[in-house]
C-alpha cells in the first residue's frame, strides 16, 4: 500500500481505495535451497546486502544470481519498502495454540527472539569394558544434567521455548565411552529481557555444571541470534476488531517461526494474521488448514487491507 | 601344549618338556575388517561354523575365504583344540587398573559378561518455535532419565560397567524438536547373576519411565550377549605364584574386553596374563606398554608354560 502511487480500482468490490494495494511474493522465504531464509524481504528491507543474496549458492554450486536470470526475475528492482503505509501477512500458525484454544484468528503481536547455541562436552574415549566407572571421563552423565538445565529454563514461563534438537556422541560406538558429545540449544522468548534472563540462566548453569564436573570440558558458543520482533499495536488492534466485527474468535499470540514480516516490521508498521493448522504440523506432507479457516483468514485480511487502504491516514 | 604329541626340545633353555608347546596366531582377532571378531579361535573351538567365517565379507565385498587363499593360509586345517592341556594368553590390560594399583601382572580370573541394548525413544517432531513446551512430545527429557537410570545401575557395584556409547537425535536439526532418539547401552559384569540383576534393573527402570512419560514411546531391544567367562582357577593360581616367586607384584582381575581366550576357555583350561598399558589406552596410536612390563609378562608366561609343560599331569 504505497502512499504516493495512484490508487487503483478494486474491481470485484466496486471500491476505489485511497492507497494502492500491492501483493508481495518474496523470493526464497524458506531458505531450503539458498541461505539465508527470508532472502527477498531481507534485501528489500536493507537488512541483507543484495550482493550477498546474489552470491548465495546451493549444494550444487548454482548461484541465486544465475537462477534469477534463468527465471526472468532479474528485470525489476526491489520495491521501495519505505514508501508503504503498512505490511500485512497471513499465514498458518505452524503450531497448536489456536487449535487448542478453539480460536480461528491469531492476532500476531510479534515474533519470538531466538538464540542458537552449540555446546560440546569433552571427556575421554575409552573401552566400555576394562575401565571402571569411577576412572572414566564419561561426558554422558553431564549430558543428562545439561538436558535438565535447559528444560528447567524452558519451564520458567509458558512463553519460553527451549529445544535440544541435536545430540551426537563421538565416536558413537556401542562399546566405546564417548570422548565428545555435541549438542545444540535453541532458546526463544517474545520478550528480549526474558530471553536475556534465559541466556544468563544457561550460562550460569553451565558454569555451575562445569565446576561440579571438573573432569569434563564444557564449551558453550552462542552461534546466532534473532532479536524479538514487535508488530504495530494499532494494526494488531485492527486485526482483532475486524475479526470481532465478523464474529470470528481471535486470540493474541506471538509467532514462534520466522517470517518475511519480521524484516518488514523493521521498516514499516507490520502485522501478521494466523489461522489454525491441523495438529500444529507444518513443513510436512501432513500440513493442512481447513477451507473454513483459510476463508476466515482471508476475510479478516481483506477487512484490514480495506480499512487502511480507504483511510488517508 | 598337546597331550599326545612328542615333546620337543626348547633349545634356548636346554630343557626338554613333557608336553609340546604350540604358539597360536589366531586369524582375525579384532574383527575390524571381517565380523565377527575372534574368528579363528571361534572356528577352532567349534563356536563359529567354518562356513560362516569363510563367507564373511568386508565393506568391499571381499570374502574371508578368498583372502585366506590369496595369503596362503588355507592350506592347513585348524588345530584340534581339544587335545591341548591348557591355553595361555598374554595381553596388555587395555584399562587403567594395574597402573592405578601399581601392579605389574594382572592375574585374569575371567571375563565380563556383556549385553548390548538398542533403545529408541519415540516422540513427535515439531518446530522449535511455535509449539509450547507443555504441548510437545519431546523425547529429550526422557533421555536424561534414561542416562540417570543406566548410570545408577553402573554405580551399584565397582565391578559393574555401564556405557551409553551412542546417542543420536532425529532429524537432528537445531530448530526441530526431535521426533526420535536412538541410543545404545552396554552392560558388563564378571558375575552372570549380577549381570542378570543389572538387566532386570534396566528393564524395570524402562517400564517405570515409560509409565511416567506416557506421551513418549520407549522401545528396548537386547541385541547381543556374551556370557561371563571363568578361567581355570589352578592356572590363575599358577600365574600368581609364578609372579610372586619372581618378586613381581600381581593383582587379580577380570578382563573387560573380549579375547581369543574367551573361546578357548569353553574347551580347555585357560587363563590370561595382563601387563599395564599407559593411561589404560588401547586401540589408539597412543597405546604403549613399557619394555619392563612386557618383559615381566613374558617371564611370568614362560614360567607358567614351563611349569605345565614339564609336568605329566
What is the per-residue pLDDT across B117-167, written as a single tens digit (0 to 9) for each? Answer: 999 999 999 888 888 999 999 999 999 999 999 999 999 899 999 999 999
CB-nearest to A184 from B94, B174, B258 is B174
CB-nearest to A144 from B147, B184, B255 is B147
Instruction: Compute φ and ψ for B186, nearest 5 degrees.
Output: -120, 115
Spell out which residues of chain A touch residue B155, defining contact as CB-CB under 8 Å.
Answer: 133
For chain A, percent of residues with pLDDT exceeding 70: 95
Find, in chain B, the residue whose alpha carbon is nearest to that of A158.
Answer: B132
Spell out which residues of chain B touch residue A148, defining contact as CB-CB under 8 Å.
Answer: 141, 144
At residue A18, does pLDDT exceed 80?
Answer: yes
Is residue A93 classed exposed, middle or buried when 0-12, 13-18 and 19+ CB atoms within 10 A define those classes?
buried
Do A193 and A218 belong to one domain? yes
At residue A240, does pLDDT exceed 80?
Answer: yes
Three-state SS letters, B216-285: CEEEEEEEEEECCEECCHHHHHHHHHHHHHCCCCEEEEEECCCCHHHHHCCCCCEEEEEECCHHHCCCCC
The predicted pLDDT at position B92 comes to 97
Q: Which of B34, B57, B78 is the last residue of a domain?
A: B78
Among A203, A48, A56, A204, smallest CA distance to A115 is for A203
Do B107 and B240 belong to one domain? yes
Q: Is A236 on the interface with B (CB under 8 A)?
A: no
Tell me the β-bridge partners of A106. Answer: A251, A274
At residue B4, does pLDDT exceed 50?
Answer: no
Do A51 and A197 belong to one domain? no
Q: Is B226 on the interface with A (CB under 8 A)?
A: no
Lowest model confidence (mean pLDDT) among A172-176, B4-8, B224-228: B4-8
Buried b (16+ CB within 10 A) or exposed e, B174-198: bbbbbbbbebbbbbbbbbeebbebb
User: What does the alpha-carbon distance between residue A9 and residue B61 come to, in Å, rounded to a whole number?
Assistant: 72
Q: Is B162 on the interface with A (CB under 8 A)?
A: yes
> Number of folded domains in chain A?
3
- A58 to chain B, closest Cα gap in Å: 18
At residue A6, does pLDDT exceed 60?
Answer: no
Measured CA distances, B180 to A96, A284, B206 (Å): 20, 16, 16
CB-nearest to A95 from B127, B141, B256 is B127
B140 vs A173, residue with greater confidence: B140
User: What does the alpha-carbon distance between residue B4 and residue B261 come to, in Å, rounded to a whole number?
Assistant: 22
Residue B56's pLDDT band (cuts 50, 70, 90): very high
What is the per-residue pLDDT across A187-238, written as a single tens digit (0 to 9) for each? Answer: 999 999 999 999 999 999 999 999 999 999 999 999 888 899 999 999 999 9
What is the per-residue pLDDT across A33-78, written as a single tens digit (0 to 9) for each? Answer: 898 889 999 999 999 999 999 999 998 999 999 999 999 988 877 7
Spell out which residues of chain B touch residue A113, defining contact as CB-CB under 8 Å.
Answer: none
CATH number, position A252: 3.40.630.10
Contact B135 A100 (CB under 8 A): yes
Q: Residue A87: is the preceding peptide bond cis (ω within 30°)?
A: no
Find, in chain A, the residue whose alpha carbon is nearest to that of B281.
Answer: A126
Spell out which residues of chain A touch residue B280, defining contact as CB-CB under 8 Å.
Answer: 126, 130-131, 135
Strands (E), chain B: 9-10, 15-16, 87-92, 105-111, 113-122, 126-127, 161-163, 167-170, 176-177, 180-189, 217-226, 229-230, 250-255, 270-275
Among A253, A237, A239, smallest CA distance to A95 is for A253
Which residues, 6 or more positions from A148, have their beta carbon under 8 angstroms from its beta carbon?
B141, B144
The predicted pLDDT at position A8 comes to 42
Do A222 and A276 belong to one domain? no
The predicted pLDDT at position B2 comes to 43
User: What does the alpha-carbon distance between residue A196 and residue A209 come to, in Å, rounded to a whole number?
Assistant: 20
At residue A305, does pLDDT exceed 60?
Answer: yes
What is the per-residue pLDDT across A260-295, written as a single tens digit (0 to 9) for each? Answer: 999 999 999 999 999 999 998 887 888 999 999 999
Contact B256 A128 (CB under 8 A): yes
Do B139 and B106 belong to one domain? no
At residue A4, does pLDDT exceed 50?
Answer: no
Residue B244: how many other CB atoms lie within 10 Å: 13
Enter the C-alpha cell of residue A24: 508481495
User: What does the alpha-carbon distance between residue B262 and residue B108 come to, in Å, rounded to a whole number?
Assistant: 11
In the numeric block, the cell 555446546 is attached to: A119
Cβ(B118)–Cβ(B182) below 8 Å: yes
Sign, Cα dihedral of B264, B267, B273, B274: positive
Among B181, B296, B187, smallest CA distance to B250 is for B296
Do B104 and B233 belong to one domain? yes
The predicted pLDDT at position A253 comes to 95
Cβ(A220)–Cβ(A206) below 8 Å: yes
The predicted pLDDT at position A41 comes to 95
Spell out which residues of chain A touch residue B161, defining contact as CB-CB under 8 Å.
Answer: 128-129, 131-133
The predicted pLDDT at position B9 comes to 44
What is the per-residue pLDDT across A107-152, written as a single tens digit (0 to 9) for each? Answer: 999 999 999 999 999 999 988 888 899 999 999 999 999 999 999 9
Spell out which residues of chain B touch residue A97, defining contact as CB-CB under 8 Å.
Answer: 130, 132, 135
The predicted pLDDT at position B80 comes to 87
- A170 to chain B, closest Cα gap in Å: 8
At residue A2, does pLDDT exceed 60?
Answer: no
Do B43 and B70 belong to one domain? yes
Read off the pLDDT of each residue in B73-79 and give the average, rounded to a whole number: 80
Measured CA distances, B270 to B143, B190, B266, B303 (Å): 41, 16, 9, 15
Average predicted confidence (pLDDT) for chain A: 92
CATH number, position A190: 3.30.70.360
Find, in chain B, the residue whose alpha carbon is nearest to that of A93.
Answer: B130
Enter the C-alpha cell of residue B175: 530448530
Spell out which residues of chain A touch residue B176, defining contact as CB-CB under 8 Å.
Answer: 163, 165
Spell out which residues of chain B touch residue A151, defining contact as CB-CB under 8 Å.
Answer: 133, 140-141, 144
A32 vs B101, residue with greater confidence: B101
Q: Is A190 on the interface with B (CB under 8 A)?
A: no
- B27 to chain A, closest Cα gap in Å: 22
User: What does the alpha-carbon distance between residue A92 and residue A75 come to, in Å, rounded to a whole number?
Assistant: 31
Spell out which residues of chain A touch residue B99, defining contact as CB-CB under 8 Å.
Answer: none
Contact A169 B172 (CB under 8 A): no
Instruction: Write out the H or E segment, with its range, that includes residue A82.
Output: none
Spell out which residues of chain B touch residue A181, defining contact as CB-CB under 8 Å.
Answer: 167
Spell out which residues of chain B touch residue A216, defining contact as CB-CB under 8 Å.
Answer: none
Spell out which residues of chain B touch residue A135, defining contact as CB-CB under 8 Å.
Answer: 96-97, 100, 280
Enter the C-alpha cell of residue A262: 519480521
At residue A9, does pLDDT exceed 60?
Answer: no
Do B104 and B250 belong to one domain? yes
The predicted pLDDT at position A13 comes to 64
The predicted pLDDT at position B12 comes to 63
Contact A255 B130 (CB under 8 A): yes
What is the per-residue pLDDT across B274-288, written as a single tens digit (0 to 9) for each? Answer: 999 999 888 788 899
- A282 to chain B, closest Cα gap in Å: 8
Instruction: Compute φ and ψ for B218, nearest 5 degrees.
Output: -125, 115
The predicted pLDDT at position A12 comes to 63
Interface probe for A, chosen from B95, B121, B130, B177 (most Cβ of A below 10 Å), is B130
Contact B94 A130 (CB under 8 A): yes
In the numeric block, the cell 510479534 is attached to: A110
In chain A, residues 241-260 whose CB comes closer than 8 Å to chain B: 255-258
At residue B8, does pLDDT exceed 70?
Answer: no
Q: Which of B226, B246, B262 is the last residue of a domain?
A: B226
Read off the pLDDT of each residue in B246-265 and give the average, rounded to a whole number: 94
Do B308 and B246 belong to one domain? yes
Do A208 and A245 belong to one domain? no
Read off the pLDDT of each residue in B60-85 and give the average, rounded to a whole number: 90
Contact B127 A94 (CB under 8 A): yes
User: What does the alpha-carbon distance between residue B120 and residue A26 come to, in Å, rounded to a whole number?
Assistant: 41
The predicted pLDDT at position B76 comes to 78
| 3-state SS assignment for residue B106 | strand
Contact B158 A282 (CB under 8 A): no
Do A20 and A86 belong to one domain? yes
Instruction: Compute φ and ψ for A64, nearest 5 degrees.
Output: -55, -45
Q: Is A102 on the interface with B (CB under 8 A)?
A: no
What residue numbers bound the domain in which B7 lies?
1-22+86-112+229-313
At residue B3, does pLDDT exceed 70?
Answer: no
Residue A313: how many other CB atoms lie within 10 Å: 11
Do A118 and A201 belong to one domain? yes
Among B16, B91, B109, smallest CA distance to B298 is for B91
Amino acid at each position: 500500500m504505497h502512499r504516493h502511487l495512484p490508487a487503483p480500482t478494486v474491481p470485484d468490490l466496486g471500491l476505489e481505495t485511497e492507497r494502492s494495494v500491492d501483493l508481495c511474493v518474496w523470493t526464497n522465504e524458506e531458505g531450503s535451497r539458498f541461505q539465508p531464509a527470508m532472502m527477498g524481504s531481507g534485501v528489500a528491507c536493507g537488512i541483507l546486502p543484495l550482493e550477498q543474496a546474489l552470491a548465495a549458492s546451493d549444494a550444487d554450486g548454482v548461484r541465486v544470481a544465475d537462477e534469477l536470470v534463468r527465471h526472468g526475475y532479474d528485470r525489476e528492482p526491489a520495491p521501495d519498502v519505505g514508501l508503504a503505509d503498512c505490511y500485512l501477512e497471513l499465514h498458518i500458525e505452524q503450531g497448536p495454540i489456536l487449535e487448542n484454544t478453539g480460536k480461528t484468528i491469531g492476532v500476531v503481536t510479534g515474533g519470538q527472539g531466538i538464540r542458537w547455541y552449540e555446546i560440546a562436552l569433552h571427556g575421554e574415549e575409552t573401552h566400555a569394558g576394562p575401565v571402571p566407572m569411577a576412572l572414566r571421563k564419561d561426558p554422558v552423565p553431564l549430558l543428562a544434567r545439561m538436558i535438565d538445565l535447559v528444560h528447567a529454563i524452558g519451564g520458567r514461563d509458558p512463553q519460553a521455548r527451549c529445544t535440544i534438537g541435536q545430540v551426537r556422541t563421538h565416536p558413537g560406538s556401542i562399546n566405546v565411552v564417548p570422548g565428545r558429545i555435541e549438542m545444540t540449544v535453541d532458546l526463544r522468548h517474545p520478550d528480549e529481557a526474558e530471553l536475556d534472563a534465559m541466556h544468563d540462566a544457561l550460562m550460569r548453569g553451565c558454569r555451575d555444571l562445569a565446576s561440579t564436573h571438573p573432569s569434563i570440558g564444557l564449551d558453550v558458543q552462542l552461534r546466532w541470534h534473532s532479536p524479538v520482533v514487535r508488530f504495530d499495536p494499532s494494526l494488531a488492534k485492527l486485526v482483532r476488531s475486524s475479526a470481532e466485527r465478523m464474529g470470528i474468535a481471535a486470540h493474541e499470540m506471538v509467532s514462534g517461526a520466522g517470517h518475511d514480516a519480521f524484516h518488514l516490521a523493521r521498516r514499516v508498521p507490520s502485522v501478521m494474521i494466523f489461522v489454525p493448522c491441523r495438529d500444529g504440523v507444518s513443513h510436512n506432507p501432513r500440513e493442512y488448514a481447513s477451507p473454513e479457516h483459510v476463508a476466515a483468514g482471508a476475510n479478516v485480511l481483506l477487512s484490514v487491507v480495506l480499512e487502511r487502504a480507504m483511510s488517508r491516514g
